[in-house]
Chain A
Amino acid sequence: MSQVVPSIRVFVPIDAAALSVGAEAVAQAILREAAERGIEIELVRNGSRGLLWLEPMVEVETSEGRVAYGPVTAAAVAGLFDAGFTSGDAHALRLGPVAELDWMKRQQRLTFERVGVTDPLSLADYRAHGGLAGLQAALALQPAEIVETVRASGLRGRGGAGFPTGIKWKTVQDARAEQKYIVCNADEGDSGTFADRMLIEGDPFLLIEGMAIAAVAVGATRGYIYLRSEYPHAYRALCRAILKAEHAGLLGDSVLGSGHAFHLEARLGAGAYICGEETSLLESLEGKRAIVRAKPPLPALQGLFGKPTIVNNVLSFAAVPWILAHGAQAYADFGMGRSRGTLPVQLGGNIRRGGLIELAFGISLREIIEGFGGGTLSGRPIRAVQVGGPLGAYLTEQQLDTPMDYEALAAMRAMLGHGGIVVFDDTVDMAKQARFAFAFCAKESCGKCTPCRIGATRGVEVMDRIIAGQERPKNIAVLRDLSRLMTDASLCAMGGLTPMPVLSALNHFSEDFDRPPLPMAAE
């Protein structure tokens, strides 16, 4: 099978998750081993394919396509060379051609089509794999036609609220102002989510292209990407990609020579969950304490520095180039009900096979958790699954046949959010999880309104009394009253949705609120 080729292309991911389990050492070992053996290789640092439990997953380009090996350790590298992995030969870690892997075959990758395939920082690679086709198509349209295409695709914001992206863009387009802004929400604060990070590290030009399309559509000349500081790898990738895009004329005074100016900058957050809320994010970008603004006015009309502003999640912008390149209908053909297109699902927590899975809306949670995920990592029974981040509901094992769809989850007092799924086994204590939801809110509240600021602290106290076994019926009634107050009277969803995990824990796992108290509550 080995044929004479000038150099063999070997891929080792540079994604932070892959690095977190030793990808850098593997890359170095491969370079060292190849040099010692006099084998010409070209080492490409790609994004991750999303089979995170197999990271570091190394790929080799062969005549039968790219063949994967994983999880590879630095210590296994010499053995891989001995076995002839550079020709795709057999080895205990050989997984087979990537395209044949069950995990990949069962997905519908639109937004993540290039992630793991290309060198994230090579614009040539990006173009060779269909990059910039969406922007080029957009530049041939009238601005109103671009917005209409986005609207007709049915795309809804992927940041959590699910607001129709085309309608938001139309509002900004119709606004009259000498300055408009495009702002990307890359704060990705929800536990259990990492799709924004993987996309920025694995295909940053896609985000840049999506934002450029938005800029052209609404006549905005400046943009910011607000990225959380917990993502240093993504920040480096993004800054380098923006520089390259400027050099190539994708950003700057004339986007791809169209005459539209678009200047883009990445900005770091500073460790505050509330900055994911869009008005808080805008305050932070303006350099202030990130106190949530009352709405109206909508950010679309009075956003950054009071100017009309599109604020969208990373995945919302990243879906747009595909839509422009393939047409609104092609995108809308995926999905169910009012949830059109695909959703990058992130599977984490106590799970055997965790990672990123992009699929049309409508697949059941069970197919994801059991079919893709293979059950818990601990091997114990699944007890609870939190969907949609820290403000999302805890579901029981019996509820897992629910489809991944905004409305279906809302109907059971849960939410899809940013598409994160966190699995817990039967050792979880749901009263403690409810306490944590309040503690998190107390710590991360912006402090503007009383129901959230004071309510969350009260919530922790009430949970402590319940856990300690003090007057449980009375305190559970207090808990319900408090939850109602926070839901009804909080200014934003931080305080307004904190009761969702709390009440789901109480309603579905009430036995945990009635356990014999521990001698002393541990911290």
Chain B
Amino acid sequence: MAEFSAWDRDEARRIVGGLVHLEGATLPILHALQEEFGYIDAEAIPLISEALNLSRAEVHGTISFYHDFRAEPPPRRVVKLCRAEACQALGCEDLVAHLAQAGGIAVDHASPDSPVAVETVYCLGNCALGPSALVDGELIGRVDAARLLTLCETQPGSRGQR
């Protein structure tokens, strides 16, 4: 399970400083910050805008344009479930319905205090072995309802630890 550091302004400044020399440094910086902290804290925006000589609005606009970047710390576990056509052909929408009924999990609508979020992605490049999911950087093929529920278990006591 991914572990992230708590937001730390000085550490963020170091990360930004280490990457400013790149051409088109914005995305590499945003990825590096999210890799470290799990999200892009609002305090990072002035850091980036100063370092790259961009307006805060530009930096904010870039962050919000891309689906990947989070403005809030992520839940303990994020399951990215593919809902594109090849996985649709193998019933990924049934999995979404099953998650709601059997697990009480609404895809793309996790409650803020939930330890797990299931999020929609469109294609993981595993279209011959779908339905597919990506969990903590691990690709999983031929996902079925039981496997998906197991992947969503994070807390001892809720559904038992993995």
Which residues does chain A contribute within 8 Å of B69, judged by CB atoms?
270
State whether the Cβ of B145 lies closer than 8 Å to any Cβ in chain A.
no
* Cα–Cα distance between A272 and B27 once the two chains are bound (Å): 13
Which residues does chain A contribute within 8 Å of B86, judged by CB atoms?
191-192, 348-349, 420, 422
Known: A229-B68, A433-B88. 11 other contacts (CB 8 A): A17-B141, A194-B128, A229-B31, A234-B125, A270-B69, A287-B27, A289-B62, A290-B65, A348-B127, A349-B90, A422-B89
Whether A354 contacts B84 in the complex (CB less than 8 A), given A232-B137, A267-B27, A268-B27, comes out as no
Please name the residue on chain A nearest to B31 by beta carbon.
A268
Is B142 touching A189 in the complex (CB atoms < 8 A)?
no
Which residues does chain A contribute within 8 Å of B28, judged by CB atoms?
267-268
B17 CB to nearest A CB, Å = 16
Band of interface residues on B: 35 or more
- Closest 3 A/B residue pairs (Cβ): A354-B128, A287-B26, A348-B127
Which residues does chain A contribute within 8 Å of B124, judged by CB atoms?
230-231
State whether the Cβ of B146 lies closer than 8 Å to any Cβ in chain A.
no
State whether the Cβ of B122 lies closer than 8 Å to any Cβ in chain A.
yes
Is B27 touching A52 in the complex (CB atoms < 8 A)?
no
Is B30 touching A20 in the complex (CB atoms < 8 A)?
no
State whether the Cβ of A286 lies closer than 8 Å to any Cβ in chain B.
yes
Which residues does chain A contribute within 8 Å of B88, judged by CB atoms?
424, 433, 436
Is B85 touching A386 in the complex (CB atoms < 8 A)?
yes
A383-400, CB under 8 A of B: which get 1 and which 0?
000100010000000000
- Chain B residues close to A by CB (< 8 Å): 23-28, 30-31, 52, 58, 61-62, 65-69, 80, 84-90, 96-97, 121-130, 132, 134, 137-142
Which residues does chain A contribute within 8 Å of B25, judged by CB atoms?
287
* Cα–Cα distance between A273 and B67 once the two chains are bound (Å): 10
State whether the Cβ of A203 lies closer than 8 Å to any Cβ in chain B.
no
* Cα–Cα distance between A278 and B150 once the two chains are bound (Å): 39
Which residues does chain B contribute within 8 Å of A233, judged by CB atoms?
139
State whether the Cβ of A46 lies closer than 8 Å to any Cβ in chain B.
no
Is B61 touching A289 in the complex (CB atoms < 8 A)?
yes
State whether the Cβ of A92 lies closer than 8 Å to any Cβ in chain B.
no
State whether the Cβ of A284 lies closer than 8 Å to any Cβ in chain B.
yes
Instruction: Please tell me which one of the listed residues B24, B26, B67, B85 contacts residue A422 in the complex, with CB atoms under 8 A apart.
Output: B85
* Cα–Cα distance between A19 and B89 once the two chains are bound (Å): 22
A56 CB to nearest B CB, Å = 11
Whether A190 contacts B123 in the complex (CB less than 8 A), given A17-B141, A288-B62, comes out as yes
Is B141 touching A273 in the complex (CB atoms < 8 A)?
no
Is A197 touching B125 in the complex (CB atoms < 8 A)?
yes
A233 CB to nearest B CB, Å = 7
Which residues does chain A contribute within 8 Å of B121, judged by CB atoms?
230, 271
Which residues does chain A contribute within 8 Å of B134, judged by CB atoms?
230, 232
